[in-house]
Amino acid sequence: MGELDLDAMIERFKQRAAAVKQRPLPPVAGEERQRFIEQANVDFQDYALMAGSTATLVDGILTFTVDLRPSPPTS
């Protein structure tokens, strides 16, 4: 395995999240359309979470850290 570029990996997740938002709806209707929309929402959430993560590789263990704490209130 070659060098693992963690920053490039995170960037690819950002690009995938953006691509999901720009994905056109296929010519389907009814339940198929709803399933497509639901899957696009899940795909976006997954890619956006990974895009907002911090990746570390320590002793061969790749860890993605995602801070899910709410932002502090602004005064």
Would you state the pLDDT for residue 16?
A: 95
3-state class of 67 per DSSP? coil
Residues in Cβ contact with 2 at an 8 Å cutoff, skipping those fewer than 6 apart: none
Range of the structural domain that residue 48 is part of = 6-65
Does residue 1 form part of some domain?
no
- Single-letter amino acid code for the residue at 33: R
Global pTM value: 0.76
Query: Could you give the CA distance from residue 42 to residue 63 in angstroms, rounded to a whole number?
Result: 21
- Single-letter amino acid code for the residue at 75: S
- Structure tokens that stand for 74 in this block: 């602004």
Would you state the pLDDT for residue 44?
A: 95
Does residue 27 form part of some domain?
yes
**What are the pLDDT tens digits along the chain (75 aa)?**
568 899 999 999 999 999 999 988 878 788 888 999 999 999 999 999 999 999 999 999 999 999 999 988 887
Count of the separate structural domains present in the chain: 1
Query: Could you give the CA distance from residue 48 to residue 23 in angstroms, rounded to a whole number?
Result: 15
- Structure tokens that stand for 72 in this block: 């502090």
Does residue 71 form part of some domain?
no
